[in-house]
Amino acid sequence: MTLLERLHAARKANDLSRLSEAIPYARWMNMAPENSTGELLTRMRYHPLLIGNSHLPALHGGTIGALLETAAIFHLLWETDNAALPRIINITVDYLRSGRAVDTLARANFTKLGRRVASVAVEAWQDDRSKPVGAAQLHFLVTPVK
């Protein structure tokens, strides 16, 4: 089954978790989408291998960047009907706080969804949503279904 076919099957079953199961890196990083609260969130479950600074301890900045990017991709896949997989153009990550050794959640929103380019804003937080650990702005090339 191709990723797009998997996506269609996941939509039909309204089962988001099928999205991440198909992506080896998302599985390895313990990242999965969830929508128990009615909004699409992506969770990165804490694991000791995500640590960048053992003394604090703090999550590796790269893992927060990777979560923000993955959340943007899940949002794009779930909220739009694409004829092909979106291709990332760039990402700008702001690191706002050090990430502690707990689960991290991320939520994406479209800044603008155009015919060729989607601009996506993402925020990540841990226990307190009003205190984000990171935020990102991303651009993707998209091919919407006509």
Partner 1 sequence: MGDEARPKTVFEAVPGDKLDVFQKWFSDTIPHNKALGLVVTAVRKGGASMRLEWQPHLVGNPETGVLHGGAITAMLDACSGMAVATMLTKAQPFATLDLRIDYVHPATPEQPVLADAECFRLTSNVAFTRAVAHHGDPRDPIASSAGTFMLGTKGKAAVGQHAARIAVTGRGT
Residue ranges in contact with partner 1 by CB under 8 A = 2-3, 22-29, 48-56, 58-63, 65-67, 69-70, 85, 87-95, 98
Query: Given the complex with partner 1, which of 65 and 144 has the nearer CB atom?
Result: 65
- Token reading at 130: 């009003």
Minimum distance between the CB of residue 100 and partner 1, rounded to whole angstroms?
Answer: 11
Query: Given the complex with partner 1, which of 38 and 57 has the nearer CB atom?
Result: 57
Amino acid present at 20: S
Query: Given the complex with partner 1, which of 91 and 113 has the nearer CB atom?
Result: 91
- Please say whether the beta carbons of 64 and 133 come within 8 A: yes
Report d(CA 55, CA 115) in Å as an integer: 47
- With tokens 């959340």, the residue in question is 71
Query: Given the complex with partner 1, which of 23 and 36 has the nearer CB atom?
Result: 23
| In 66-103, beta strands by DSSP E | 87-95
Query: 104-113 and 51-53: which strand pairing?
Result: unpaired
Neighbours of 75 (CB within 10 A): 24
